[in-house]
């Protein structure tokens, strides 16, 4: 099989990214630097998949200097982390550059201590053989290696559908690699090899997860739902983690409840092809709502603590199971679009996606119509119209809600009809005050 080279790599990129890469390579040529594409992008190129992120390695120089030299006038150079990784960004294109490095772990689960190293050392610290790949791009790199540097037969593993760790203590060094395995395997169509499964069992026996921080675990959870955009089914990741006895090792009693499987899959599809337009929302929160809804309140609380989910997010995930039953009921009983709008308006985008994923087809259609159309519609009424009737405070909100329901149900067409209805409701409720006294009271 002929393996792809530098020109195929360039061709696999969006034009803006390719132009940014050309700049980096020009800068590397001028300083005789060896630059490689590394990890995920090389793996995806070999698999013939779309190359999404560009990760580069530069040997013998620091990444910041190269990125700064390569940056076109409209670009931004951001120093990423304490490992000296730098991001070069121009328009929609972005490239990550790091210096080759070598790492050691102070203890199991700790963040690695990172030092400058060689290309081989850099590849040796990676999670799986299929990621320990580097593609020479600059002339100097091509002089040193004529083709893909494949440290541990990663290409054979890619062809054989195998996900394999580089050494038997890999999961001890960094247990979050187990979560990466459960995510990358189904995403790439690879299965964890027998040897790696044995290493995983040894790591679990040694209680490696005990020392991994909740923040690191949560970051991996977030990526599971981020990767749904690439077609990953989140339920498959949780199924693997459950089968590998990892969920129970993270928190005793934690599992993948049967009731969560189909909704998680549906959520994955909704992330990949959103049924309505949303602003920014946190898909992992929707995922946790669904995953943890069938669990007991105590297990839910402990799990949220284990993943260091705190504050308002933890409160809303904790309450979702109970609240969703009420919302589903209201949705089922709702007569008309106005009532559906009133039932769903208080939900956050995360809750809306969770409810959608849990609902049957009829209720899903109701939720999608609300999210796509009705929630955007504005009642043809101004605040001053209601003030003029003498409404204020909570009474104003209540009357406005009733007018909105009537409007969405198609019972009124314009501002005059809306004002007439608001007046009628206020009269029935006896809530409107004479206008003059309301104003006078505030003066």
The residue ranges that bind ligand ATP (CB under 6 A) are: 39-40, 53, 55, 126-127, 131, 174, 176-177, 180, 223
How far apart, in whole angstroms, are the C-alpha atoms of residue 434 and residue 430?
11
Residue closer to ligand ATP by CB (options 40, 318) is 40
N-terminal to C-terminal alpha carbon distance within the chain: 84
- Rounded to a whole number of angstroms, the minimum distance from the CB of residue 231 to ligand ATP is 13
Residue closer to ligand ATP by CB (options 206, 417) is 206
- Rounded to a whole number of angstroms, the minimum distance from the CB of residue 274 to ligand ATP is 21
- Rounded to a whole number of angstroms, the minimum distance from the CB of residue 387 to ligand ATP is 53
Structure tokens at 87: 């991001």
What element of type H or E holds 162?
strand 162-163
Residue closer to ligand ATP by CB (options 165, 331) is 165
Residue closer to ligand ATP by CB (options 47, 328) is 47
Of all residues in the shown chain, the one whose CB is closest to ligand ATP is 40
Contact status, residue 17 vs residue 37, Cβ threshold 8 Å = no
Q: DSSP 3-state assignment of 255?
A: coil
Pick the closest to residue 391 from 360, 366, 428, 361 (CA basis): 428
Contact status, residue 137 vs residue 144, Cβ threshold 8 Å = no
- Rounded to a whole number of angstroms, the minimum distance from the CB of residue 142 to ligand ATP is 22
- Rounded to a whole number of angstroms, the minimum distance from the CB of residue 183 to ligand ATP is 7
Residue closer to ligand ATP by CB (options 220, 341) is 220
Q: DSSP 3-state assignment of 253?
A: coil
- Rounded to a whole number of angstroms, the minimum distance from the CB of residue 16 to ligand ATP is 19
- Rounded to a whole number of angstroms, the minimum distance from the CB of residue 50 to ligand ATP is 11
Give the angle 233-299-303 at the CA atoms, nearest 5°. Answer: 60
Residue closer to ligand ATP by CB (options 31, 223) is 223
| CA dist list (Å): 188 to 162, 192, 334, 427 | 10, 11, 43, 64
The DSSP output letter for 363 is H
Q: CB atoms < 10 A from the CB of 259, how many?
A: 12
How far apart, in whole angstroms, are the C-alpha atoms of residue 278 and residue 371?
9
Residue closer to ligand ATP by CB (options 126, 404) is 126
The gap from C-alpha 431 to its chain's centroid, in whole angstroms, comes to 47
Contact status, residue 88 vs residue 20, Cβ threshold 8 Å = yes
Residue closer to ligand ATP by CB (options 54, 71) is 54
Residue closer to ligand ATP by CB (options 187, 402) is 187
| CA dist list (Å): 98 to 130, 170, 216, 379 | 19, 22, 21, 54
Helices (H) and strands (E) in the chain — how many of each? 24, 11
Contacts of 397 (CB under 8 A, 6+ apart): none
- Rounded to a whole number of angstroms, the minimum distance from the CB of residue 164 to ligand ATP is 13
Residue closer to ligand ATP by CB (options 102, 375) is 102
Give the dihedral sign, CA 184/185/189/193.
Answer: positive
- Rounded to a whole number of angstroms, the minimum distance from the CB of residue 247 to ligand ATP is 19
How far apart, in whole angstroms, are the C-alpha atoms of residue 217 and residue 177?
10
How far apart, in whole angstroms, are the C-alpha atoms of residue 80 and residue 75?
15
- Rounded to a whole number of angstroms, the minimum distance from the CB of residue 58 to ligand ATP is 15
Residue closer to ligand ATP by CB (options 161, 297) is 161
- Rounded to a whole number of angstroms, the minimum distance from the CB of residue 127 to ligand ATP is 4
């Amino acid at each position: 099989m002929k393996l792809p080279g530098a020109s195929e790599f360039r061709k696999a990129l969006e034009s803006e990214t390719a132009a940014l890469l050309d700049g980096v390579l020009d800068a590397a040529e001028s300083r005789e630097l060896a630059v490689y594409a590394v990890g995920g992008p090389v793996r995806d190129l070999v698999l013939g998949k779309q190359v999404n992120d560009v990760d580069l390695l530069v040997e013998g120089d620091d990444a910041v200097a190269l990125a700064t030299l390569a940056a076109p006038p409209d670009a931004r150079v951001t120093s990423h982390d304490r490992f000296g990784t730098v991001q070069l960004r121009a328009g929609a294109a972005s490239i990550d550059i790091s210096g080759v490095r070598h790492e050691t772990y102070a203890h199991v689960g700790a963040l690695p201590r990172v030092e400058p190293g060689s290309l081989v050392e850099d590849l040796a610290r990676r999670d799986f053989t299929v990621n320990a790949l580097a593609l020479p791009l600059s002339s100097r790199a091509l002089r040193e290696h004529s083709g893909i540097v494949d440290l541990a037969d990663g290409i054979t593993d890619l062809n054989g559908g195998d996900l394999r760790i580089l050494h038997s203590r890999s999961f001890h060094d960094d247990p979050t690699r187990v979560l990466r395995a459960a995510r990358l395997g189904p995403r790439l169509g690879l299965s964890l090899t027998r040897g790696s499964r044995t290493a995983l069992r040894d790591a679990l026996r040694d209680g490696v997860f005990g020392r991994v921080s909740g923040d690191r675990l949560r970051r991996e959870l977030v990526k599971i739902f981020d990767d749904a955009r690439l077609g990953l089914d989140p339920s498959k990741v949780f199924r693997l983690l459950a089968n590998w006895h990892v969920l129970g090792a993270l928190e005793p009693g934690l599992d993948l409840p049967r009731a969560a499987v189909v909704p998680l899959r549906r959520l994955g599809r909704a992330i990949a092809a959103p049924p309505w337009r949303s602003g920014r929302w946190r898909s992992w929160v929707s995922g946790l709502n669904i995953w943890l809804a069938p669990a007991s309140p105590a297990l839910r609380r402990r799990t949220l603590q284990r993943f260091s989910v705190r504050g308002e997010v933890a409160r809303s995930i904790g309450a979702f199971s109970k609240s969703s039953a009420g919302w589903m009921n209201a949705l089922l009983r709702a007569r008309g679009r106005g009532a559906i709008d009133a039932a769903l308006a208080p939900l956050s985008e995360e809750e809306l996606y969770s409810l959608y994923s849990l609902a049957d087809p009829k209720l899903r259609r109701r939720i999608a119509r609300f999210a796509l159309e009705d929630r955007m519609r504005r009642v043809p009424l101004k605040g001053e119209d209601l003030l003029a009737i003498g409404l204020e405070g909570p009474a104003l909100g209540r009357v406005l809600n009733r007018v909105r329901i009537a409007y969405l149900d198609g019972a009124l067409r314009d501002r005059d009809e809306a004002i007439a209805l608001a007046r009628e409701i206020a009269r029935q409720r006896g809530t409107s005050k004479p206008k003059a006294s309301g104003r006078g009271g505030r003066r």
